[in-house]
Structure 1
């Protein structure tokens, strides 16, 4: 008899980026907080991430979010984010997808109009406002991890590309912020292969000298993201927009502008005095998908000046599925997976 397990998934997308929400089928994880559970999963159960982000079950360009019991009494649910790069502490697009899935599936009761909910990410609480109409979530505005500039004016010599200057910003993960025009990029869809190759070469070169510790989260791993910044345009109505692209190591250019990439850009601009509380920036991905970022106000993270911001976007539910995991399938690595799955 085959040893089979089942996972219940809700597949969603925000700005074209697919997030697979795991709702049932995983045993309770060790740890009290979402952060403790994420670290347990990373150390003892990475097989779940690899399973759902690899063929034949998935693709590295997707994300996976595991719904868990929250550790904070204010939160209605917790979630652990898994991507090709590992386990980010926070993600705007994943939060938008998780909140939408929880509300539209009924796991959190939906209220018509504006509804406030709180979710617990590994980075801490995400305060969310959902705009609901006729049983559907029209948009999500999320305020999560404050962003700060860790270092400005860095540079590294990248083989085949020359010197690359960048700033290092935390917004739920560390981002290397690179001016796209310095390297001839317009951040259009036809540049995806070139952006991926550049990002891969840059991260492989820059990583050894960039190990950073977050003031409260500690060691958060090696550099995972590059955010390419386009030129800022001020529209006739005073709104500010910019093309952008986020590279996830290894090998992924996001279809959305990404929430954490947008938050990092807001912190960089606010720190330079280009934006202030209440000001907005609309970021546009190479595929033309948009997120709206708003500066909320100043704070501190450790000794760093930091900025609270919100990200507004929308998500769509694409599928509700029951995935069968055959533990006898030679394509399934059960070494750090089997003990996670409910019998």
Structure 2
């Protein structure tokens, strides 16, 4: 090896060692004891077989309940975590199960998770590697859940002729699952989301993953309800039972740019008075249709739509938090939403969370935040404020 290449290799190795010292350590745990837990952020979650599965993210923890281990800030999570939903628990004492991952490339932040509840599996793609370390070429990974909160990881085989290098994986897209496919709208690609990428770009369009055919498709700009406008940091949710095949609702996020690189803090926000729906063509009715895809879209303004309105609850719990994950009651057939981890400012990752183990539940019927889960709770019933709103129209 040439001397300059050797020097470069040594410098690269040294840099990786320094950075890794801030993200991995055998003495640190993916699930510290409740007294050692400080913060968890940038993970993703889904529900399968009566368990909440928590994927990726980073965690901060104490040693002996009072001091930070070796001056560390965040530790990369290298296990798939799960919490039971078929038994009651309290945030301060629930046991979180950890299943080690077989690939180092599976330790990422802000995964895109697509859940196939019919077959008891979820797929993981996209996201970003913390500090851009241990990056590999793109794959779609598959997790097959068991009935005990564990399961097995594998690499999904995609159809012949499909090249993943023709699709840019990213993070901060609006992601959801419809029951037959996974969807990602927008997001952004960075040097930490794709091996070999040297720039940051906001992404327009929509990507779908078919659970049966395993086809990963990158639509044109007309494939997305936002056309060629990139959407960064929005949320998407699939609602079954509306129309023939259900609808996808997209809300919030930032307005990105395709002509130049723009920092997130300089992007405009999408107007929260508007909500965008996607329906399959078979359930479209008179909504304007896009003949190049299997979807049609419509954007409604709350003031012009009598069945939609935004409201806020009167009860608040601690400070607001970003980088958290939520799992929704519609998937549990109960009246709770679970929020896991999160932080406000960047430096709050080092400040102990006031919420035990970062597990906070919102009771949608009582519109109250709680610190315990009741597995025998009744099915969701609209809150009185919502019932009154419909009565008054």
TM-score, with normalisation over the residues of structure 2?
Answer: 0.22
More strand by share: 1
Larger RCO (CA under 8 A, 6+ residues apart): 1
Larger Rg: 2
More helix by share: 1
TM-score, with normalisation over the residues of structure 1?
Answer: 0.24
